[in-house]
Amino acid sequence: MITRRQFLARGATGLAWLGLGPVAGRLAGVNLDGRAGAGSPEETVVTILHTNDVHSRIDPFPDDGSRNAGLGGAARRATLIRRIRAENPNTLLVDAGDTFQGTPYFNLFHGEVDFKVMSALGYDVLNLGNHDFDGGVPGLLNALPQAKFDLVNANYDFGSSPLGPHVKPYVIRALGPVKVGLFGLGVVLDGLVSESNRPGISYGDPVPVARRLAGELRRNHRCDLVVCLSHLGNNGWEGQPGDQDLARSVDGIDLIVGGHSHTFMDEPTRVSHGDRETLVFQVGWAGINLGRVDFHLQRGRVTRAQGSVIPVGGPAGAERAA
C-alpha cells in the first residue's frame, strides 16, 4: 500500500494511480472572450459544476451488486470536468462541504489526500461542512497545504481560532465579462461537532448573513451572479433554516448549491423574486453525481438558467437536464 509520504510527494499531475493524469482544470494561459456556444454575440454562458458530501469517496463504489455499485470515483469525475471545461472555459467547480470522513483515505491521511485530489481536479471553492472538523482544527490546518482552492464560510465566528485567517466569507471570480460572487454557509455546530474539535468557533443565523452578503456582492462588488455554497441541509437541521428557507427569504442569490442532507435532486427547485429567481440544487453524496447549472447572461443579467445531473460512472448519455 502506498504510504502517506509517498502519496503526498507526488505532484498534482502525477496521480497516475487514480487515472487522473494532467487535469485541464484552470486552463491557465487561455485568453477567454466570455462567449460560449452559438448564442448572441452579447451572450455569456457561465457553468457552475458542483458536488457535495463526497466523504472521502475517491474510488468508485465496489462493483458488488449493491445499490451504488460501480458509481462515483475521482478519476471519472475528472474526465467529466475536463470535457465540460473544454466546451466552456467560463466554468467554476465548487463543493458544498463534508469532503472528509467516510473511507480509509480519511482515516489514514486525515484529509490531505482529499484536498490533493480536489486540487488536481481543479476545484475553485470549497465550503466547510461539519465533518470537515472531524480531525479538529489541527487536522484542517495540516491538510491546507494541499488545497489549491479557496475555503469559504460566512456564518461561523472564528474568533481567535488559527483557522480563521484561512477561511474567507466570500470570493469573487471573473469569467469573461461576468463577475461571480461566492459565499459559504455552515450548519449549526452544537450536536454535530464537539467543542474540542472547534474551540472558539461558533455558529450564527445564516439568513441575515446571506442577506447582507448578497447585497454587498451585488452593490459594492458589482457581481452579476451570486452563488451560495450551503451546508445547511435542503430543509434545515434541528429547527435551523435550510436551503429552501434561504431561497424564500433572500432575493439576491442566483444559485444555492446545497449539502449536508444528502438530497438527490433531479433538477433545481426555483423560487421567484420578481425579475430574478433563486435556484436550489443538491446532488446526493459520495461523488455519485456531478451537478451542472448553466447561466445565460446578457449585459450582466440572467436571461435563463438550466440545471442537470450528470451520473458519475453511469451509462453514456445519462445526463438529465431540467
Mean residue pLDDT of the chain comes to 88
Question: What's the predicted TM-score (pTM) here?
Answer: 0.87
Asked if residue 107 is part of any domain, the answer here is no
Write the single-letter amino acid at 302: V
Residue 4 lies in a domain: no
> Average pLDDT for residues 98-106, to the nearest whole number?
96
How many Å apart are CA 229 and CA 55, to the nearest integer? 17
Number of alpha helices (DSSP H) and beta strands (DSSP E) in the chain? 7, 16
Residues 192 and 117: their CA atoms lie apart, in Å, by 26
Tens of pLDDT, residue by residue over 193-232, are 999 999 999 999 999 999 999 999 999 999 999 999 999 9
- CA separation for the pair 27, 176 (Å, rounded): 13
Residue 134, in any domain of the structure: yes
Q: Is 307 helix (H, G, I), strand (E, B) or coil?
A: strand
Distance of CA 155 to the CA centre of its chain: 17
Cα 5–146–71 angle (5° rounding)? 90
pLDDT at 42: 85
Element (H, E) at 136: helix 136-143
- pLDDT tens-place string over residues 51-75: 999 999 999 999 988 899 999 999 9
Contact 73, 17 (CB under 8 A): no
**pLDDT band for position 1 (50/70/90)?**
very low
Query: What residues pair up with 42 in beta bridges, in sequence order?
Result: none
pLDDT one-digit tens code per residue, 69-79: 999 999 999 99
Q: pLDDT value at position 65?
A: 82
Collapse the DSSP code of 272 into the 3-class scheme (helix H, G, I; strand E, B; otherwise coil) and give the result. Answer: strand
In eight-state DSSP terms, residue 61 is P
Position 313 confidence tier, pLDDT thresholds 50, 70, 90:
confident
Would residue 159 count as lying in a domain? yes
Domain residues for 172?
Answer: 35-101+113-293+303-315
pLDDT per residue as tens digits for the range 108-135: 999 999 999 999 999 999 999 999 999 9
Q: What is the CATH number of the domain that holds 83?
A: 3.60.21.10
Count: domains in the chain: 1
Instruction: Let me know if residue 3 belongs to a domain.
Output: no
Domain annotation covers residue 236: yes
Is residue 308, in this structure, part of any structural domain at all?
yes
On the 0-12 / 13-18 / 19+ scale of CB atoms within 10 A, 86 is exposed
225-269, pLDDT tens digit by residue? 999 999 999 999 989 999 999 999 999 999 999 999 999 999 999
Residue 17 lies in a domain: no
How open is the CA angle 310-314-319, to the nearest 5 degrees?
30
DSSP secondary structure letter of residue 131: G
